[in-house]
Amino acid sequence: MTDIEQLEASILDDIHAASDEATLESVRVATLGKQGSVSALLKTLGAMNPDDRRTRGAAINALKDRVGLSIADRKGILKASALDARLARETVDVSLPVRPGPLAEGRIHPVSQVIDEITAIFADMGFAVAEGPDIETDHYNFTALNFPPDHPAREMHDTFFLKPKEDGSRLLLRTHTSPVQVRTMEKQRPPIRIIAPGRTYRCDSDATHTPMFHQVEGLVIDETTHFGHLKWVLEEFLKAFFEVDEVKTRFRPSFFPFTEPSMEVDVGCRRSGSEIRIGEGDDWLEILGCGMVHPNVIRAAGLDPDVYQGFAFGMGIDRIAMLKYGMPDLRAFFDADARWLKHYGFRPLDLPSLYGGLTG
């Protein structure tokens, strides 16, 4: 046996004996690495005469190639068996019962659920969701919405004001989501089709009023939208939301500084005891305010009221949540009582959608 054959036999033994990739790597370093045995052989070539170097060189390089191939083969085998071992080790018994975790225990608050339902319905009609800050300026909450200075409508809203600044101006907690109308018109060119759900604040508290409550604003602005569209959109919404085939609505003339004409909308219902059913009966329940956006509001937001027109509406989210899910006291919404939430809350994975069902 030549020295090359001998070396090869011992290297192949080492390769086959390597039972994991780390050991194999150390065999590679010990043979083909800079200080390795094959590399050491190659270094002897320099001192040889040209004839010896040619034959010996070819033999050593062939050895180097064969060792390289053997290492690569072995590496493939070790990789595959490591994967097999891991697959065998990490089997999961799919028949085991699911461990109750936060997903099973946690509940979505009815207000969040109703916001998701409202969003799903309006998204289906092509509305995007817009947002504005809870802390507003007098300009966005009132002035740009056509409330004249010192107009009693400003008092009507029982506004929470922040401490006045040096210049006398006061920030406030928005009393309605209508400021988002102005902010949206300033940012976005028509056609505009948005809803803006969010928190609103008024200094008021009893079984049906809390100082913080939720509204959803709707706004459509383009060149042709008229009152008929408003009626259709609201009726479609009410049918989808209350999951009934027909609703009766009644549009009563009303007043808001930012709409003209302005309406309040009642929905037909039946009351028996404390229960209210929407979609049947001869009773009425007030549910939202709406109207055609006042030209002054369109102008204040930087658009030309001779070109653009549209409608807006504002609805109390907590109120329609109480109606839909039969929750009698609004204050409980914000008590953070886990027992209440367990009773009235919704499962986190039952996302409301029009095709999957709003209420799961």
Write the DSSP string, 18-55: --SHHHHHHHHHHHTSTTSHHHHHHHGGGGS-HHHHHH
Q: Residue from 291, 303, 309, 322 that binds ligand PHE (CB under 6 A)?
A: 291
Residue 155 in tokens? 């008092």
CB of 263 to ligand PHE, least distance (A): 8
Q: Residue from 121, 312, 317, 332 that binds ligand PHE (CB under 6 A)?
A: 312
Q: Measured from the CB atom, is 14 or 217 closer to ligand PHE?
A: 217
Q: Which of these ranges, 6-14, 36-44, 183-191, 310-318, lies near ligand PHE under the rule CB under 6 A?
A: 310-318
Peptide bond into 191 cis (omega under 30): yes
Residues 72-101 that bind ligand PHE (CB under 6 A): none
Phi, psi of 283 (to 5 degrees): -90, 165
Q: Measured from the CB atom, is 132 or 291 closer to ligand PHE?
A: 291
Evaluate whether 230 touches 240 at the Cβ level (below 8 Å): no
At position 212, the amino acid (one-letter code) is: M
Distant-in-sequence, close-in-space partners of 198: CB < 8 Å, separation ≥ 6: 131, 132, 134, 177, 180, 214, 215, 216
Nearest to 141, CA basis, from 159, 162, 164, 128: 159
What is the helix, strand, coil percentage profile of the chain, to 5?
A: 45, 20, 35
Place of tokens 């090869």: 8
Q: Measured from the CB atom, is 71 or 182 closer to ligand PHE?
A: 182
At position 356, the amino acid (one-letter code) is: G
Q: Which of these ranges, 229-237, 276-284, 285-293, 323-331, lies near ligand PHE under the rule CB under 6 A?
A: 285-293
CB of 195 to ligand PHE, least distance (A): 11
Q: Which of these ranges, 44-52, 69-77, 134-142, 308-316, lies near ligand PHE under the rule CB under 6 A?
A: 308-316
Q: Maximum distance among all alpha carbons in the chain?
A: 115
> Does 265 help bind ligand PHE (rule: CB under 6 A)?
no
Residues 225-264 that bind ligand PHE (CB under 6 A): 256, 259
State which residue has the least CB distance to ligand PHE: 314
CB of 144 to ligand PHE, least distance (A): 13
Residues 140-179 that bind ligand PHE (CB under 6 A): 176, 178
CB of 301 to ligand PHE, least distance (A): 14
The beta strand positions in 171-238, using DSSP E, are: 171-173, 192-201, 212-222
Nearest to 234, CA basis, from 155, 272, 288: 288
> What mask, x for binding ligand PHE by CB under 6 A, covers residues 313 to 352?
xx--------------------------------------
> Does 290 help bind ligand PHE (rule: CB under 6 A)?
yes
Q: How many residues bind ligand PHE (CB under 6 A)?
A: 11
Peptide bond into 328 cis (omega under 30): no
CB of 197 to ligand PHE, least distance (A): 13
Distant-in-sequence, close-in-space partners of 116: CB < 8 Å, separation ≥ 6: 108, 351, 352
> Does 201 help bind ligand PHE (rule: CB under 6 A)?
no
**Interface with ligand PHE by CB under 6 A: which residues?**
176, 178, 217, 256, 259, 289-291, 312-314
